[in-house]
Amino acid sequence: MNAQAQKSPHFFTGNYAPLTEEHDIAALDIEGTLPPGLSGSLYRVGPSPQYAPRDDSYHWFSGDGMVHAFHIGKGRVSYRNRWARTPKWQLEHEAGRALFGTFGNPATSDPLAQGRNGGTANTSMLWHGGRLFALEESHQPFELDALTLASKGHQSFGDRVTSRCTAHPKVDPESGELHFFAYSPDGPCSPTMLYGVMDRHCEVAQLQSFTAPYASMVHDFMVTRGHVLFPVMPLTLSVERAMRGQPLLAWDAARRTHVGVMRRGSAVDTLRWFDTDACHVFHVMNAWDDGDTIVAYVMQSDTAPGLPDAEGRAGDPAAMAARLCRWTFDMAGESRGFQREYLDDLVAEFPRIDERYTGRRNRCGFYTCHATPRARDDTQSVLYDSLARFDFDTGERSLYTLPNGDVVSEPVFVPRDEGSAEGDGWLLAVVWREDERRSDLLVLDATDLPAGPVAVARLPHRVPFGFHGTWRPGL
């Protein structure tokens, strides 16, 4: 690690630090008993920088993507990890050093990187149309082989997706269509947005663009049976600001939060814009139509977690803490406002559901959280010690909490079988064992989290803190 990296110790120590080795393990040691019917692959992705960064503003969000695959079946778990060998990874590998500034900032990038593809493929995983993709919202989906994780490159889907694509597309469980979006598709920090639909065979069936209220990092969106919703929040983007030496990506509290709502199948010029006081949402749990209203469950905070204001000043950790919140939009009324109501008092993130209920009313949801309230100056608030199941009918929450110091990843739900009831199945999550400096894969009964894992697959090494994962059924 060079002196530049030492200026950013938070993201280069402990389990934030990159994993520099690629592994192939035929069979992990198992504690407990894997469910006989659990068969498929869990994929997780997160940043693992190939080289120390060029500047002291390095952020966790901008590291090279590394994919971790757990192949599960017949009572065994095999493991493989590979870097996504993006054009950025290849260019820097050949140079033997970092070339791109944080978030591709031109002010801190090497001249060799100017005009080159800086995609990291580090944020989310997608299994669609029999194909596996690593996603991040500033570039096209990056395809990998589902078994070997060999890199196949960025995909344009018949030259229809030419610039970028969301890290959080939504699959309609009835039609099999994939709904996706992008921000700033017309160039860095442009206020335009893109909305598209891809069929179950990865053919783009619809593509439209529109202008948002301002240029913003829009990480997630919402899809119901009848509507699409685009949140635009004050996590603003500005090349001009970056060239002045200020943050390219920054919180602007003077802005309001906007949500554009459109009927599925309509033209984007029919978008109806709602707005409210400045607030932030990185992740949506789900949304659905309820008569003349639209209801969404989101993880809301007062400001964007982990990111500075326009002057580069760090934010208040308490204001950055997200909690489970319900948004309600009255489509029959004329008001531009919408209702917001917190449902849980615990700091939480990484919400997931039984995805057979995407866009439909869900009774249960899962997320990572802290079992106890956090101190206002807690800079590690994104490192969660518990998994939660929330029942929206009763308001009851159940928890599984890790030993002190351990950290759990976003959970991924797998149904027990095709006909099982909502939420009846398995919850998969990777955990960091602080005392042992390594990681485990947990398998929990999603209907009984307090009972703890029914099986633990033990890794001999660690999986760095990452973001999102997906499940590919069958082996």
Cβ pair 415, 427 in contact under 8 A = no
- Identify the pLDDT of residue 55: 76
Half-sphere exposure at residue 322, Cβ-oriented, CA atoms within 13 angstroms: 27
The stretch 78-103 carries a mean pLDDT of 95
Tokens of 174: 């009835």
Question: What CA–CA distances, in Å, run from 56 to 53, 108, 339, 437?
Answer: 8, 10, 40, 26
What span, in angstroms and rounded, lies between the C-alpha atoms of 344 and 364? 14
- Most distant CA pair in the chain, distance: 60
**Residue boundaries of the structural domains of the chain:** 1-155+422-475
- Identify the pLDDT of residue 7: 42
Q: Give the CA angle between residues 218, 135, 472 to the nearest 5°.
A: 125
Q: In which residue are the tokens 């860095």 written?
A: 188
- Give tens-digit pLDDT for 213-245: 999 999 999 999 999 999 999 999 998 888 888
Using a cut of 0.75, tell me whether the model's pTM lies above it: yes
Q: How does residue 54 score in pLDDT terms, banded at 50, 70 and 90?
A: confident
- Identify the pLDDT of residue 378: 52
Among residues 5, 50, 14, which one has the least CA distance to residue 464? 14
Q: What share of the chain is helix, strand, coil (3-state, %, to 5)?
A: 10, 40, 50
Among residues 72, 75, 19, which one has the least CA distance to residue 49? 19
Contacts 24+ apart (CB under 8 A), 191-194: 191/215, 193/218, 193/230, 193/232, 194/163, 194/164
Q: In which residue are the tokens 């760095």 written?
A: 464
The stretch 118-142 carries a mean pLDDT of 96
- Give tens-digit pLDDT for 254-312: 999 999 999 999 999 999 999 999 999 999 999 999 999 999 999 999 999 888 898 88
- Identify the pLDDT of residue 64: 96
Min mean pLDDT across 21-30, 130-139, 310-319, 425-434 is at 310-319
- Give tens-digit pLDDT for 321-336: 999 999 999 999 999 9
The stretch 443-453 carries a mean pLDDT of 98
Cβ pair 161, 133 in contact under 8 A = no
Tokens of 20: 């520099």
- Give tens-digit pLDDT for 172-223: 999 999 999 999 998 888 999 999 999 999 999 999 999 999 999 999 999 9
- Identify the pLDDT of residue 103: 76
What span, in angstroms and rounded, lies between the C-alpha atoms of 396 and 410? 20
Neighbours of 359 (CB within 10 A): 24
What span, in angstroms and rounded, lies between the C-alpha atoms of 117 and 113? 8
Question: What CA–CA distances, in Å, run from 6 to 1, 56, 84, 463?
Answer: 7, 8, 25, 21
Full DSSP string of 166-188: -S--EE-TTT--EEEEEESTTST
Backbone angles phi, psi at 141, to 5 degrees: -60, 140
Q: Residue 8: is its pLDDT beyond 70?
A: no
